[in-house]
Amino acid sequence: MSVAPRKSLGQHFLVDENILGVIGRLADLQPDDVVLEVGPGLGVLTRFLAQRVAFVHAVELDRRLEQHLTGIERVQVHWGDALKLDLSRLDPAPRKLVANLPYNIATPLVAESLGELQLTSWCVMVQREVADRFFARPSTKAYGAVSVLVQLASERTGFHPVSREVFRPRPNVDSALVAFRRTGPGVDPRTKRVIEAAFGHRRKTLANALALSGLAPRERAVEALAAIGREASVRAEALAPPEFVALAEAL
């Protein structure tokens, strides 16, 4: 491997091809699929995808990897930060996100992709704690804003723990593949602001968290909570995902 992974970019290159079959199964790859891959690294997954789908958009920030990613049939490489590029303009439009996501952008990228892209399914390799967070249940430690955003738009279809040995360098944390499919549109901007504000101060009551965020005076937040049948003392982690939609409407 001629390119040294950069910790600052959250890079852990996929080097063991044995995991590819699991990715293919969980992603339910079809010959007419157009796939978005973020963080292709050395191109191990990229080549696997290109052999099985119609087209792959590979988004990579690190130009040092150009030698590994050029010349792959049915693949277009987009150089830049996936969180800053306008991925909604990709042509043909991707319908699946299949990727070994860089650790430092996994959560915000998935959250943004739910609303800004017309994706129908996701199959992503992420830190195990991030994978657990996506479909965590209310009143658990892992439950947070991204849990609500993901669950309001999708349902989990697959999960597979991943050995640390499939990456170089070997990470110090466990990883997992998590697959999910769209069941509804991403949340509107107003509801997203309520969700993010609600979990912005986890030690506070929900009413206080909304007030501290500047989203609504505490008194107004208490009234909105009462309208959805919740006490003023409730905390954000107690609410189920659909309750946040109702809360945003009440506010």
Can you list the domains of the chain with their CATH numbers? 8-182 (3.40.50.150), 189-250 (1.10.8.100)
pLDDT at 165: 77
17 to 4, 47, 72, 96, 120: CA distances (angstroms): 19, 11, 17, 20, 25
Residues 72-107 as b/e (b if ≥16 CB within 10 A, e otherwise) read: beebebeeeebeeeebeebeeebbbbbbbbbbebbb
CB 27 within 8 Å of CB 170: no
pTM of the model: 0.90
End-to-end CA distance of the chain: 54
pLDDT 10s digit of each residue in the chain, 251 long?
466 556 555 556 776 778 899 999 999 999 999 999 999 988 999 999 999 999 999 999 999 899 999 999 999 999 999 999 999 999 999 999 999 998 889 999 999 999 989 999 999 999 999 999 999 999 999 999 999 999 999 999 999 998 877 776 666 788 999 999 999 999 999 999 999 999 999 889 999 999 999 999 999 999 999 999 999 999 999 999 999 999 999 99
Q: What is the pLDDT of residue 203?
A: 87
Q: According to DSSP H, which parts of 117-160 are helical?
A: 128-134, 145-153
Cα-Cα-Cα-Cα torsion 53, 164, 139, 220, nearest 10 degrees, comes to -60
pLDDT of residue 116: 85
Where are the extended beta strands (E) located within 183-225?
A: none
pLDDT of residue 101: 94
Which pLDDT value is given to residue 164?
78
Structure tokens at 196: 């993010």
CA distances from 43 to 67, 97, 186 (A): 10, 15, 30
pLDDT at res. 18: 80
Helix (H) or strand (E) holding 167: strand 167-168
